[in-house]
Structure 1
């Protein structure tokens, strides 16, 4: 596994930066290994698959995990608010880094991730190729 580490800085969009990395590094198959930092605006899709939660406040990144490739991402995020409550869901565009985000991605050399429509879920789902 090749490791790619990057520090994101204030004003960057978390999802857009991960998409940029996947594209510029020609990632065939990757996973988020670690993500620590904070955002000033959190935005994620809830479990109903449609509703978007927007949190216009300072939030700590508690976790970010999922799969990525130059062909698509599937990432989930959880945040902690000022009261210590946890919130989270499917990462969307619009999660704006506050001071920093220390992002570590593992790139798998033996696999390739693609996404194909799955009639049973209604989403483009992960296809793993060797």
Structure 2
């Protein structure tokens, strides 16, 4: 369903994939590899916890573009951090290329929380344990929206 305020599609969970990323693995690339190896390009990250070394992430900022916003420069924290939570969607573009959109929250040794949009370069410290649900009955797509100037999530019925 699509109207002026939202786009929706209904489906269900068909499989669950459990993934443990090992030390030194790039989190985003490792998750993408796990999804591709298991044929998942319609899914959701149900849970992700672990520890990270020097995470990289970004957050929205005001920009001079059609939308008025976009992701700002990559932020980089140093040292070991606890990955207290990560969530995201596994979708694909119009050519079928797998695309992950993951947000995370980390805490430092003092309990201070930081978070944002996960980007490449974030490495596993000891482990990152992830549960991924494959979704059936709908298409977790991405498409380019001319009015905003961005490729965004575009769910539709299968």
Length-normalised TM-score, structure 1: 0.93
- In the alignment, which residue of structure 2 is the partner of 1:9? 22
**Match runs of 1:12-51 below 5 Å:** 12-48=25-61, 49-51=71-73
- In the alignment, which residue of structure 2 is the partner of 1:104? 131
User: Matched residues in 2 for 1:117 and 1:44: separation?
Assistant: 23
Alignment RMSD (CA, Å): 1.3
Q: Kindly state the Cα deviation for residue 10 of structure 1 after the two structures are TM-superposed.
A: 0.3
Aligned residues: 130
User: Matched residues in 2 for 1:120 and 1:45: separation?
Assistant: 23
User: Matched residues in 2 for 1:22 and 1:39: separation?
Assistant: 20
User: Matched residues in 2 for 1:21 and 1:112: separation?
Assistant: 19
1:113 aligns with 2:140: yes
Q: Kindly state the Cα deviation for residue 17 of structure 1 after the two structures are TM-superposed.
A: 0.8
Q: Kindly state the Cα deviation for residue 118 of structure 1 after the two structures are TM-superposed.
A: 1.6
Q: Kindly state the Cα deviation for residue 41 of structure 1 after the two structures are TM-superposed.
A: 1.4
1:58 aligns with 2:80: yes
| Structure 1 unpaired stretches of 5+ | none
Structure of higher CA gyration radius: 2
User: Matched residues in 2 for 1:58 and 1:119: separation?
Assistant: 40
| Structure 2 unpaired stretches of 5+ | 1-12, 62-70, 92-96
- In the alignment, which residue of structure 2 is the partner of 1:83? 110
TM-superposition CA deviations, 1:26-82 (whole Å, max 9, x none): 213111111110001100012221221101210101111110135311111110011
Length-normalised TM-score, structure 2: 0.77
1:28–1:111: 8 Å Cα contact kept in structure 2? no
